[in-house]
């Protein structure tokens, strides 16, 4: 086996290099672009968040609440959070959604507040099969570094009983907007990995496996 690896060292080095790049890129992407904050927050009984976080990318970040529909009928959940479609079906004078009053602060390790806000949020900014998103603050831009975010729901919201929610702070645009070389590398590098380097690494791996099996069979026949 050692003799085979020495004989195929060039192919092995290329294969090892591709694997190292793919693994390293995935680790870097996860460390750089994973949402700095994604924690549960209670709604039916006024919840509070106090969480240390690290901003890793010099880019605008978006603060939002993610509602999980849970056992509620989807139409009912959409009406609680609010959407254009459900609002159009309501009669004049009917409430379009349930507001969520939220106070939040983002502070440095020294305690200095660098961003804050207090408002009663309404409506939805997006939805999927089992989640609905509501934007709290669309753009928060602070230097890369360590921070602490505190947030409080200002009153109990029994209307959301049975629904869970998460408070998240993530790069605005969901990684689809360019914020410098890091976001460009993440986008184009991801495409290159998926459509070029990953198939290439798989092909080299299959060649190495095939040649290794062939070498083993030849040696087995030569030394019965």
Instruction: Specify the pTM.
Output: 0.72
pLDDT at 53: 95
pLDDT band at 89 (very low <50, low <70, confident <90, very high): low
pLDDT at 146: 95
pLDDT band at 84 (very low <50, low <70, confident <90, very high): low
Average pLDDT over residues 35-50: 93
Task: Say what the alpha-carbon torsion angle 18, 21, 22, 25 is, to the nearest 10 degrees.
Answer: -170
Q: Model confidence over 113-155: pLDDT tens digits?
A: 999 999 888 888 888 888 899 999 999 999 999 999 999 999 9
How much is the mean pLDDT over the chain? 82
Residue 205 confidence (pLDDT) above 70: yes
* Cβ neighbours of residue 150 closer than 8 Å, sequence gap 6 or more: 48, 49, 50, 51, 104, 105, 107
Residue from 39, 33, 45, 56 nearest 151 by CA: 39
142 vs 88, higher pLDDT:
142
Weakest-pLDDT range from 8-17, 46-55, 64-73, 159-168: 8-17
Q: Model confidence over 172-202: pLDDT tens digits?
A: 866 566 667 777 777 788 888 888 888 888 8
pLDDT at 196: 86
pLDDT at 1: 47
- Hey, how many other C-beta atoms are within 10 angstroms of the C-beta on 91? 5
Weakest-pLDDT range from 95-99, 144-148, 163-167: 95-99
């Amino acid at each position: 086996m050692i003799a085979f690896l020495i004989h195929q060292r060039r192919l092995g080095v290329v294969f090892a290099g591709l694997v190292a790049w793919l693994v390293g890129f995935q680790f870097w992407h996860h460390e750089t672009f994973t949402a700095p904050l994604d924690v549960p927050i209670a709604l039916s009984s006024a919840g509070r968040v106090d969480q240390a976080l690290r901003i890793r990318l010099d880019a605008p970040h978006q603060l939002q609440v993610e509602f999980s529909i849970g056992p509620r009928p989807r139409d009912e959940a959409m009406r609680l959070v609010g959407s254009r479609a459900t609002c159009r079906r309501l009669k004049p004078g009917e409430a379009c959604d349930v507001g969520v009053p939220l106070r939040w602060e983002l502070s440095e390790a020294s305690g200095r507040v660098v961003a804050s806000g207090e408002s009663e949020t309404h409506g939805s900014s997006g939805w999927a099969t089992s989640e609905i998103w509501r934007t709290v603050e669309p753009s928060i831009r602070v230097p890369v570094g360590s921070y602490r975010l505190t947030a409080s729901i200002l009153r109990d919201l029994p209307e959301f009983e049975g629904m869970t929610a998460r408070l998240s702070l993530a790069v605005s645009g969901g990684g689809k907007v360019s914020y410098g070389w890091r976001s460009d590398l993440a986008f184009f590098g991801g495409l290159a990995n998926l459509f070029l380097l990953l198939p290439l690494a798989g092909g080299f791996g299959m060649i190495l496996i095939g040649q290794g099996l062939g070498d083993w069979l030849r040696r087995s026949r030569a030394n019965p």
